[in-house]
Structure 1
Amino acid sequence: MNVKDEIHAQIEGALKNAKFPINTPEELLAAMPQGAATKCKAGDVELTAGDAGKVLEATDFPFKSAKQVADVIVQRAGL
């Protein structure tokens, strides 16, 4: 599994118990197991939920699934 796929899988895993839809950045951070400090790491790439939130835009919300969140973050983070 490459870095992009690994980070994607970790984001989905972190949100496996989240209640969707998620309508705001605050709801998204609250859904992460350790809030903004939740980390995804693959190889030499480390991404916290707080860092990931910086690439999201108001128009991205609401999110309807963990996969959708992971797709947007991985694409925008340039992984």
Structure 2
Amino acid sequence: MGVKEEIHAQIVGALAGASFPLATPEELLSAFPDGAETTCKSGDVELKAGDAGGVLTPDDFPFTSAKDVADVIVERAGL
């Protein structure tokens, strides 16, 4: 499994208990177990949930599943 796939899986796992849809960046961050400090790691790549704000736009919301969140973040983060 590559870095992209590992980070994707970790994001999906971190959001497993979230109640969707998530309509705002604040709702998304609060859905992560440790909020903005929730960290996904693969090798020497580290991505914090708080960094997602740099790649998400208001048009991305609402998110309807953890997979949707992971798809967008992983794609835009350039992993």
With normalisation by structure 2, the TM-score equals 0.98
Aligned partner of residue 16 in structure 1, secondary structure: coil
* Cα distance, 1:4 vs structure 2: 0.2
Structure 1 stretches lacking a partner, 5+ long = none
Structure 2 stretches lacking a partner, 5+ long = none
Question: Which whole-Å CA distance do the structure 1 matches of 2:53 and 2:78 have between them?
Answer: 14
Question: Which whole-Å CA distance do the structure 1 matches of 2:57 and 2:43 have between them?
Answer: 27
Q: Look up the match of 1:29.
A: 29
* Cα distance, 1:54 vs structure 2: 1.4
Question: Which whole-Å CA distance do the structure 1 matches of 2:43 and 2:51 have between them?
Answer: 17
**1:9 paired to 2:9:** yes
Aligned length, in residue pairs? 79
With normalisation by structure 1, the TM-score equals 0.98
Q: Report the aligned-residue RMSD.
A: 0.4
Which amino acid in 2 is paired with 1:48? K
**Runs ≥4 residues deviating over 4 A:** none
Q: Look up the match of 2:74.
A: 74
Q: Look up the match of 2:41.
A: 41
